[in-house]
Amino acid sequence: MTIEALITAGDPQPMRPWPRYLLSCEAWRAVADALRSDPEPALLGLWADTAHVHALFMGSTPMIASVPVEGVLYDALSPGRPAAALFERMIHDLWGHVAAHGTDQHPLLDHGRWPILRPLSRRPVPNSAPPEPQGPGVVQPGQHQVSIGPIGSGAADPVHLRVTVAGEMVVRMEARLGYAHRGVLALMRGKPLRSAAPLAARIAADSTVAHAVAFARAGEAALDVDPPPRGHALRGVMAELERIASHLGDLGAALPGLPGARCGALRETVLRANQAAFGHRLLMDCVLPGGTAVDLAPGGHAAVLDALDRIAKDEPDTRRSLDGMAVSTAAGGVAGPEILASFAPGGVLGRAAGRKDDARRVPGYPPYGPPPTVPSAPWDGDVEARLRLRLDEIRDSNVMLRRWLADLPPGPVNGGVPFASGEGLGVAEGPHGDVWHWLRLDAGNIATSFVRDPRWLHWPLIEAACAGAALGDLPLIMRSFSPAASGLEL
Amino acid sequence: MLQALARALIRRPAAADTTAAPDTEIAGALAAQLDSAAQARLGRSLAILHVAAAGCGGCATEIDALGGVAYDLERHGLAFVGNPRQADVLLVTGPLTAAMRTAMEGVWTAMPEPRWVVAVGACAIDGGVFAGSYAVQGGIGIALPVDLIVEGCPPSPASVLSALLTLIEANR
Ligand code: SF4
């Protein structure tokens, strides 16, 4: 029996648009066992509610398998899917459920400084124990350890990096997360769908459109409504503007000197076009359940086209400045196909190593039509590949935007959403990969939800790619991944 | 005296920012004023340490934009630094999480006098959309003495720039 067959044999639950199956503990255990030997399907995320644990897989369609928690226990998936480990640690910190036979039982988000323990469980308890001091890492003779952060680590948010070096070589890099955890899921609980939208838009600013779209699509799926065509089209325009701005920002941070500065300046041009077109530089709160919050402003069209022209004109120069980068970082920074196969990350990280995952294509959603150009170059999963791919994606987005803007459907931008109950799963392809939102609505209010930002799958891969690199290359390698924690700090 | 003067609040409703792009000319003019004011007081550029305490990265991203070529700060008497020991201004974005409190206090302690705290964005002011969560204690004012706030979620780079100008003017 394939794993997909094991899952679909479960009891189907009323989730839209894809099914969720409730498995018995025995069936879940069979899935967990099978995952050890079968690389399919990819595990995209793992989370919980007060009584169940839910696993999101990408099979022939997206699908969720759920299992009841027995006492505090459920069977771990991490022995078969290393990507599950971070999620299992998070589930313990937030809900208190324990992954039996999990590969890593350390806390992830909870540093022992919250006033309560297990904040999302049915009955959180006061935290009376003093915070645990952080033990030193294991260092062999001839190695030493550099501790960077949580302030000034070079990542976009507070992250504590522990780098073990031998001579000039990085032996190991470990990221300690949890500093920026904000309690978003607890804040969303009990809020009406539309009142929670500003929170969804503030999970990760560089993917605010993607998060807002995935959140809205989850709500729309739960309520079985669809935005009007113009709402879909404008979401697409905003999402591709966001992709271009984010990729330019990442290139600007990674490229030294003038080329980097030029990317930063072009990014600023996009942000100003966003302001002119939709009234917000980062496009926050521009997408709402039911469609969009705003229509394209008069003059916005011209501002966007002007920015697109400038970016296209500059592309050859930026491309030239990438030449030779592979040579300078030959000693590391590779997130190659083998390790990626067990993590299945989407976005630039995966595609730069030859993976095809792109939520705009599969499962696909409006306004994206047939797939854009499939990248053809050999993608080695190294620093240069990740940077070069961003340039390619900027070019593709440029083409899409021109096509859409030339032919925007007329009509309203938002069809509204009813106050009703239901459960939905939504996805959108953001600048860093596939963003998933799952939520259950009870009479219009969010009863429970989860947010799977693509960066959940990134940190273990970044850690792996840094091992073996020259210490001096570490900053560039890190920047080529665009490391940030806000997406998973929730 | 300095602190009292500097406790001026920049209140800039979001609507004021929806005009056309906060253009480079405005930024240039502000920067030119900053230039003379900062140099006059310190004999050098005003050194700003930006720390993203948590948050969504929106404010942090706009501070990065402020440091980019479009606003050309460094040439005009404002410089971003990475070391607390060289910093005059601690510019904080994002809410104060329980897990970050010790690190933030550590940075502040390492900064030489005179020093200022600028809270940029709703989160740094009072926790913003994240206020009331078990993980968030509030704005940076819970832990450190705030001299200046810049409202917005996020504020535009231009309004952060004019806030920094206020700080310098007040301390002339
Ligand atoms: S104030 Fe708003 S934009 Fe700034 S970090 Fe907080 S949520 Fe993000």
How much of chain A exceeds pLDDT 90, in percent? 68
Between A242 and A467, where is the model more confident?
A: A242
**What is the CATH classification number for the domain harbouring A417?**
1.10.645.10
Scan for tokens 């499939």, then name that residue. A374
Ligand 1 atom having least distance to the Cα of A282: 3
Q: Are residues A235 and A363 in the same domain?
A: yes
A279 to chain B, closest Cα gap in Å: 6
- Contact assignment for A265 to B18 by CB distance below 8 Å: no
Let me know if residue B58 belongs to a domain. Answer: yes
Task: Say yes or no: CB of residue A202 within 6 Å of ligand 1.
Answer: yes
Cβ-Cβ contacts under 8 Å between A and B: the total is 139
B172 to chain A, closest Cα gap in Å: 30
Given a contact cutoff of 8 angstroms between Cβ atoms, the answer to whether A489 and A178 are in contact is yes
Q: Are residues A96 and A191 in the same domain?
A: no
Q: Are residues A120 and A196 in the same domain?
A: no
How much of chain A exceeds pLDDT 70, in percent? 94
Look at the alpha carbons of A381, A383, A386, A388 in this order and tell me if their dihedral is positive or negative. Answer: negative
Residues of A in contact with B134 (CB under 8 A): 114-116, 119, 124, 183, 186
Q: Rounded to an integer, what distance in angstroms lies between the CA atom of residue A377 and that of residue A387?
A: 13
Given a contact cutoff of 8 angstroms between Cβ atoms, the answer to whether A213 and A220 are in contact is no
Environment class of residue A167 by beta-carbon count within 10 Å: exposed (0-12), middle (13-18) or buried (19+)? exposed
Which of A150, A202, A271 is nearest residue B129 as measured by Cβ atoms?
A202
Which of B18, B65, B99 is nearest residue A179 as measured by Cβ atoms?
B99
Let me know if residue A175 belongs to a domain. Answer: no
How many domains is chain A partitioned into structurally? 2
Let me know if residue B1 belongs to a domain. Answer: no
pLDDT at A368: 93
Task: Say yes or no: CB of residue B153 within 6 Å of ligand 1.
Answer: yes
| Backbone φ/ψ region at B55: left (φ over 0), alpha (ψ -120 to 50), beta | left
Backbone angles phi, psi at B80, to 5 degrees: -85, 135
Rg of chain B taking only CA atoms, in angstroms? 15
Let me know if residue B108 belongs to a domain. Answer: yes
Amino acid residing at A143: Q
pLDDT at B29: 54
Which chain A residue's Cα is nearest to B58? A205
CA distances from A471 to A169, A243, A332, A466 (A): 5, 30, 10, 9
Which of A158, A198, A268 is nearest residue B54 as measured by Cβ atoms?
A158
Q: Are residues A229 and A112 in the same domain?
A: no
A28 to chain B, closest Cα gap in Å: 32
**What is the CATH classification number for the domain harbouring A93?**
3.30.460.80
**What is the CATH classification number for the domain harbouring B133?**
3.40.50.12280
Is pLDDT at A370 greater than 50 in this prediction? Answer: yes
Label each residue of chain B as H, E or C.
CHHHHHCCCECCCHHHHHCCCCCHHHHHHHHHHHHHHHHHHHCCCEEEEEEECCCCCHHHHHHHHHHCCCCCCHHHCEEEECCHHHCCEEEEECCEEHHHHHHHHHHHHHCCCCCEEEEECHHHHHCHHHCCCCCEEECHHHCCCCCEEECCCCCCHHHHHHHHHHHHHHCC
Which of B21, B70, B104 is nearest residue A276 as measured by Cβ atoms?
B21
Which chain A residue's Cα is nearest to B129? A199
Let me know if residue A139 belongs to a domain. Answer: no
Mean pLDDT of A441-452: 97
Is pLDDT at B93 greater than 90 in this prediction? Answer: yes
Is pLDDT at A438 greater than 60 in this prediction? Answer: yes
Let me know if residue A90 belongs to a domain. Answer: yes
Which chain A residue's Cα is nearest to B56? A204
**Paired tokens of A28:** 């879940």
- Contact assignment for A180 to B55 by CB distance below 8 Å: yes
Residues of A in contact with B101 (CB under 8 A): 113
Let me know if residue A352 belongs to a domain. Answer: yes
pLDDT at B14: 32
Contacts by A340-345 with C-beta closer than 8 Å and gap 24+? A340/A381, A340/A461, A341/A39, A342/A39, A342/A81, A342/A82, A342/A83, A343/A82, A343/A83, A343/A457, A343/A460, A343/A461, A344/A42, A344/A43, A344/A44, A344/A58, A344/A83, A344/A457, A345/A433, A345/A454, A345/A457, A345/A458, A345/A461
Task: Say yes or no: CB of residue A182 within 6 Å of ligand 1.
Answer: no
CA A465, A468, A473: angle at the middle one, nearest 5? 75
How many domains is chain B partitioned into structurally? 1
Residues of B in contact with A251 (CB under 8 A): none
Mean pLDDT of A316-337: 71
Which of B61, B99, B129 is nearest residue A282 as measured by Cβ atoms?
B61
Let me know if residue A486 belongs to a domain. Answer: no
Question: Ligand 1: distance of its center to the CA of A24 in Å?
Answer: 42
Q: Rounded to an integer, what distance in angstroms lies between the CA atom of residue A376 and that of residue A62?
A: 26
Give pLDDT tens digits for B28-74: 555 555 555 555 555 667 899 999 988 999 999 999 899 887 777 77
- Contact assignment for B134 to A205 by CB distance below 8 Å: no
Let me know if residue B57 belongs to a domain. Answer: yes
Task: Say yes or no: CB of residue B97 within 6 Å of ligand 1.
Answer: no
Residues of B in contact with A279 (CB under 8 A): 18
Q: Which domain holds residue A392?
A: 184-456
Which chain A residue's Cα is nearest to B60? A156
Mean pLDDT of A283-297: 98
pTM above 0.90, yes or no: yes
- Contact assignment for B55 to A182 by CB distance below 8 Å: yes
A202, A206, A486, best to mutate for ligand 1 pocket (most atoms within 8 Å of CB)? A202
Least confident stretch, A33-42, A72-81, A172-181, B62-71: B62-71
Confidence tier at A374 by pLDDT (50, 70, 90): low
Let me know if residue A78 belongs to a domain. Answer: yes
Q: Rounded to an integer, what distance in angstroms lies between the CA atom of residue A195 and that of residue A199?
A: 8
pLDDT at A353: 84
Question: Ligand 1: distance of its center to the CA of B94 in Å?
Answer: 6
Residues of B in contact with A116 (CB under 8 A): 134
Q: Are residues A189 and A289 in the same domain?
A: yes
Least confident stretch, A227-236, A310-319, A409-418, A457-466: A457-466
Is pLDDT at A233 greater than 80 in this prediction? Answer: yes
Going by their DSSP bridges, the two strands A73-75 and A98-100 should be labelled as parallel
Least confident stretch, A172-181, A380-389, B27-36, B68-77: B27-36
A82 to chain B, closest Cα gap in Å: 26
Task: Say yes or no: CB of residue B77 within 6 Å of ligand 1.
Answer: no
- Contact assignment for B57 to A204 by CB distance below 8 Å: yes
- Cβ contacts of A24 within 8 Å, gap of 6 or more: A10, A67
B80 to chain A, closest Cα gap in Å: 12
Q: At what angle do helices A300-322 and A383-405 cross, to 10 degrees?
A: 160
pLDDT at A481: 85
Question: Across chain A, what does the average pLDDT equal?
Answer: 91
Let me know if residue B21 belongs to a domain. Answer: no
Which chain B residue's Cα is nearest to A195? B129
Q: Are residues A299 and A442 in the same domain?
A: yes
Residues of B in contact with A255 (CB under 8 A): none
Is pLDDT at A473 greater than 90 in this prediction? Answer: no
- Contact assignment for A268 to B65 by CB distance below 8 Å: yes
Give pLDDT tens digits for B103-162: 999 999 999 999 999 999 999 999 999 999 999 999 999 999 999 999 999 999 999 998
Let me know if residue A151 belongs to a domain. Answer: no
- Contact assignment for B21 to A272 by CB distance below 8 Å: yes
B123, B129, B130, best to mutate for ligand 1 pocket (most atoms within 8 Å of CB)? B123
- Contact assignment for B103 to A150 by CB distance below 8 Å: yes
Backbone angles phi, psi at A139, to 5 degrees: -120, 125
Q: Are residues A256 and A352 in the same domain?
A: yes
Residues of B in contact with A181 (CB under 8 A): 54, 97, 99, 135
Give pLDDT tens digits for B79-90: 899 899 999 999
Q: Rounded to an integer, what distance in angstroms lies between the CA atom of residue A437 and that of residue A365?
A: 14
- Cβ contacts of A353 within 8 Å, gap of 6 or more: A335, A336, A337, A340, A379, A380, A381, A385
Let me know if residue B10 belongs to a domain. Answer: no
Q: Are residues A117 and A207 in the same domain?
A: no
Which chain B residue's Cα is nearest to A298? B20
Q: Which domain holds residue B93?
A: 43-170
Confidence tier at A136 by pLDDT (50, 70, 90): low
Given a contact cutoff of 8 angstroms between Cβ atoms, the answer to whether B33 and B77 are in contact is no
